[in-house]
Amino acid sequence: MFLTARLSPGLILSLLSLLSAFLLFQVQPMISKFILPWFGGSPGVWTTCMLFFQVVLFAGYAYAHALTRLPGRWQLIVHGLLLLGALVWLPIVPADTWKPMDGADPVSRILLLLAASVGLPYLVLSSTAPLVQVWFTRAYPDGTNPWRLYALSNLGSLTALLSYPVFFEPRWDVIEQTHGWSVAFALFVFLCLFCVWRNRQVINACAQVTEVPADTSPKWWTRALWLLLPAVASAMLLATTNHVCQDVAVIPFLWVVPLALYLLSFILCFEHERWYVRVAGVWALPALLLVFIACTESHLADAVGWQALGKQLHTWIPALPETLTLAPNYLWQLGWAFGALFFICMLCHGELTRLRPAAHRLTEFYLYISAGGALGGLFVSLGAPRWFVTYAEWPTLLIVGFLLAVMVLTRAAWQRRWRLAPLFPIAVAGIWCMVMLGFGAKERLVRVRNFYGAMAVEEGWDEGLKMKFRRFTHGRIFHGTQNMGAPLHLDPSGYYSHPTGIGKALDSLRYSNARVGVVGLGVGTVASYAHLGHVFRFYEIDPEVERIATRDFTYLGDAEERGAEIEIVIADGRLALEREPPQHFDVLVLDAFSGDSVPVHLLTLDAFQIYLRHLKPDGIIVVQISNKFLRLAPVIEKIAAEISMTAIRSINTGKGCIYDSEYVLLTRNKAFLRATPSSPVPASQMQQENSMHPPVWTDRRHNLFEVMRLQ
């Protein structure tokens, strides 16, 4: 028996809104993690998934808007059929046939994959929140506030998002997660059908409402703001995700934090006017400061005026550092970026609450909001990679957010009759500094951007060696350096010099018919170890990297001149190795970086079983695990034990190495093991690794939280 006649519809509709929102945001990280290994582990996979979810969200809101225009009986029939049709999509496990077969741009393939796997269920869930709010207004025509249901649905979304990495992901593998979600969705469908039928008088009331409240139609500029404000917030969300995952800390689950802050701003703004509408100026003031710092902090170190200020302050107060910095480490950078995102979203969504219409225009309002979200996603996911060669959308959107904060503060000052004069020089000076610093960039020989990130080649002068050098960067991470003067242009450098783990493995190849496989091309530095009769086979997912390596660096061409055979396969390394016949490699190098982290799908037991099929019995697997954020050695050592191989460490710092590096080498070659002792591990690092007890990673079950570096 339900509660009272008045309470029952509201309670049931609230539960449906909460449950649909929970499932809506539970499926996003789940399906994204499922397909992430298929497309190289790039952050672009997540932003493409977000684009799909935003577009389908718009489609769901459009469907809800159209449905509520039908008579109540037809609403029941149409929505009931759609709910039943969504059950055909279950379970939402993507088929292996969707795995990419070549190095083509994967955006369209990801979008089609998601449509085939979760399209209709996601559409149904997307339509639920606006539908139940319309039904709620019909159930309570006395003016009961329906907007809190929107805050409630966002609370369900936030709960799903935060619970996934800390509760669901560690306990179940991705197959179990997708099957569990499918069961929960089926229960949702039947509950929805039952509740809608049980309370059909609420829906039928829609047909009885023939008169709408008398109000003026929204102005064109009001509708334009309904579209533009959520577009800015959505674009800011994705731009921030790209920025922090490519340029600050390449930790794959960092996308959770921006999305959580985005949802939190929705919850606060739509729950009650007290959070924003009554105190808008309070949000605008810190927004100005945080947005300005986020846009300029990474460029201040190169600004002459800032350097001079630091030296002067150090002269006056010797305790202060000579070099000023607003971000001593990556956690500060994350704080500035996330703070700017949250305040911009609060301003955008808060202004939306000011402009929300009467309840009978509710679905139209949400339709514009979802359209704006989709436009923001289109701008960042599809437009920006084609229009910009850097992540220029990040400073662009920060400047837009700064302008919005100035306008909000100006309005608040006008209403309270504050003096407005100081705001204008602040705005002009702030925007000028943000443009000069935010878009300031060093000259590069090459700049290019695609699905896999922003890349550049820079040329400099080495005062010590008295010669030019070239360096390849992906985001802010160096992925290869070459001295351009003879004879040093032939020598490996950086992470690949002779004292490193990769150097030890490749220097052991004294015979002429050696075969080497390398997952990840970079600038081709590994080819500096290739000699007459050697075959070096590179696997590279990004065709642009091949063009840079062959055009702007000489390692590959030099190796071929020495008589080595160089082969380049444009595909994800693991997927290519799955399809190929055994390659009989003497050494297989795993050096496929996405920013500063090895893609997880290369570090699972399933992956190493594929590698073994291509490895000679006494061959060596070399795994590059140099990383500022993750301790990956315990994972590799557990896999080595599972496949009956010995793992040794090669930790290299200081003399003979331009950059610190860490490798794990796996082999059954006893002669190599005797000649190559394992490097001693620093006590602090060993203590931290001993406290980690990750299970053996598999394709179906792995969790990066287990190997986070604490220091």
Where residue 86 sits, what CATH number does that domain have?
Answer: 1.20.1250
* R_g over Cα of the chain: 28
Answer yes or no: do 109 and 18 share one domain. yes
Q: What is the dihedral of CA 27, 243, 428, 433, to 10 degrees?
A: 170
Integer Cα distance of 26 and 22 in angstroms: 6
Is 450 contained in some domain?
no
Has residue 485 been placed in a domain?
no
User: Cβ distance 615 to 63 under 8 Å?
Assistant: no
Residue 255: pLDDT band by 50, 70, 90 thresholds?
Answer: confident
43-67 vs 107-139: helix crossing angle, rounded to 10: 40
More confident: 90 or 710: 90
Give dist(CA 621, CA 611) in Å, integer: 8
pLDDT given for residue 4 in this prediction: 39
Q: Average pLDDT, stretch 122-132?
A: 87
In the prediction, which pLDDT does 159 show? Answer: 87
| Closest by Cα among 102, 97, 99, 41 to 569 | 102
**Could you tell me the pLDDT band of residue 301, with boundaries at 50, 70 and 90?**
low
**Averaged over 166-172, what is the pLDDT?**
82
Both structure tokens of 3: 């509660």
- Judgement on whether residues 203 and 225 belong to the same structural domain of the protein: no
Please give the residue that has the higher pLDDT: either 500 or 5.
Answer: 500
Is pLDDT of 241 > 70?
yes
SS3 569: strand
* Residue at which a domain ends, from 142, 173, 207: 207
Residue 228 lies in a domain: yes
Q: Residue 6 — very low, low, confident or very high, per pLDDT cuts 50/70/90? A: very low
H or E segment at 230?
Answer: helix 220-243
Alpha carbon separation from 417 to 99, 276, 402, 412, 426 (Å, rounded): 62, 20, 22, 8, 18
692 close to 511: Cβ distance less than 8 angstroms: no
- Domain-located, residue 484: no
pLDDT of 297 over the 80 cut: no
136 part of a folded domain: yes
**What is the arithmetic mean of pLDDT over 117-132?**
88
Going by pLDDT thresholds of 50, 70 and 90, the confidence category of residue 477 is confident
619: helix, strand or coil: strand
Under the banding of pLDDT at 50, 70 and 90, the label for residue 11 is: confident
Give the model's confidence band at 699: pLDDT under 50 very low, under 70 low, under 90 confident, else very high: confident
Token pair belonging to 192: 């929805």
- Coil, helix or strand at residue 438: helix
The most confident of the ranges 309-318, 442-451, 607-616, 694-703 is: 607-616
Q: Are 258 and 340 in contact, with CB atoms under 8 Å apart?
A: no
Question: Count of domains in the chain?
Answer: 3
For residues 256 and 113, state if they share a domain.
no
Q: Residue 207 above 70 pLDDT?
A: no
Provide φ and ψ at 249, rounded to 5°: -140, 110
Question: What would the pLDDT profile of 520-574 be if each residue is shown by its tens digit?
Answer: 998 999 999 999 999 999 999 889 999 999 999 999 999 999 999 999 999 888 8
Q: Which domain holds residue 182?
A: 1-207
- For residue 260, the model assigns a pLDDT of 87
Confidence of residue 210 (pLDDT cuts 50, 70, 90): very low
The answer as to whether 438 is a domain residue is: no
Contact between 348 and 404 (Cβ < 8 Å): yes
CB neighbour list of residue 387: distance below 8 Å, 6 or more residues apart: none
Helix (DSSP H) and strand (DSSP E) numbers for the chain: 25, 11
CATH of the domain at 523: 3.40.50.150
285 and 361: one domain?
A: yes
Long-range contacts of 427-434 (CB under 8 A, 24+ apart): 427/402, 427/403, 430/288, 430/292, 430/402, 430/406, 431/399, 431/402, 431/403, 433/292, 433/296, 434/292, 434/295, 434/296, 434/395, 434/398, 434/399, 434/402
- What was the pLDDT predicted at 215? 55
* 633 touches 644 (CB < 8 A): no
Percent of the chain clearing pLDDT 70 (strictly above): 81
Residue type for 581, please?
P
pLDDT at 711 over 60: no
Over residues 474-487, the mean pLDDT reads 82
Q: Are residues 201 and 225 in the same domain?
A: no
One-letter amino acid at 36 equals L
- Which of 176, 207, 238 is where one domain is finished? 207
Task: Check whether residue 145 and residue 227 sit in a common domain.
Answer: no
pLDDT, residue 5, reads 43
324 has pLDDT over 50: yes
Average pLDDT along the chain:
82
What is each CA distance from 190 to 22, 76, 197, in whole angstroms? Answer: 16, 13, 10
Tell me: do 143 and 36 sit in the same domain. yes
* 241 and 271 fall within a common domain: yes
| Token representation of residue 502 | 């990769």
User: Distances in Å between the alpha carbon of 611 and those of 45, 158, 297, 616, 662?
Assistant: 25, 39, 43, 10, 20
Same domain, 419 and 554: no
Same domain, 415 and 524: no
Question: How many angstroms separate the CA atoms of 687 and 640, rounded?
Answer: 21
In the predicted model, what is the mean pLDDT of residues 601-628? 90
In a domain, 437, yes or no: no
State the distance between the two ends of the chain, measured CA to CA, in whole angstroms. 56
Q: Is residue 212, in this structure, part of any structural domain at all?
A: no
Domain endpoint, select from 207, 237, 258: 207
Residue 578: pLDDT over 80: yes
pLDDT at 1: 34
- Over the stretch 26-66, which tens digit does the pLDDT of each residue have? 888 888 888 877 776 666 787 788 889 988 989 998 998 88
CA distance 685 to 565: 40
Q: Which residue has the higher pLDDT, 153 or 138?
A: 153
Please indicate, yes or no, whether residues 186 and 255 belong to a single structural domain of this protein: no
Segment among 227-236, 428-437, 524-533 with least mean pLDDT: 428-437
**384-429 per-position pLDDT tens digit:** 888 888 888 888 899 899 889 988 888 877 776 666 556 666 666 6
| 127 compared with 683, residue with greater pLDDT | 127
Same domain? 8 vs 49: yes
As a whole number of angstroms, the distance between CA 564 and CA 578 comes to 25
Confidence of residue 478 (pLDDT cuts 50, 70, 90): confident
Of residues 161 and 142, the one with the higher pLDDT is 161
Q: What is the per-residue pLDDT for 321?
A: 65
Beta strands in 532-638 (DSSP E): 535-540, 565-570, 585-590, 615-624
Tell whether the model's pLDDT for residue 220 goes beyond 70: yes
Higher-scoring residue by pLDDT: 643, 479:
643
- pTM of this prediction? 0.79
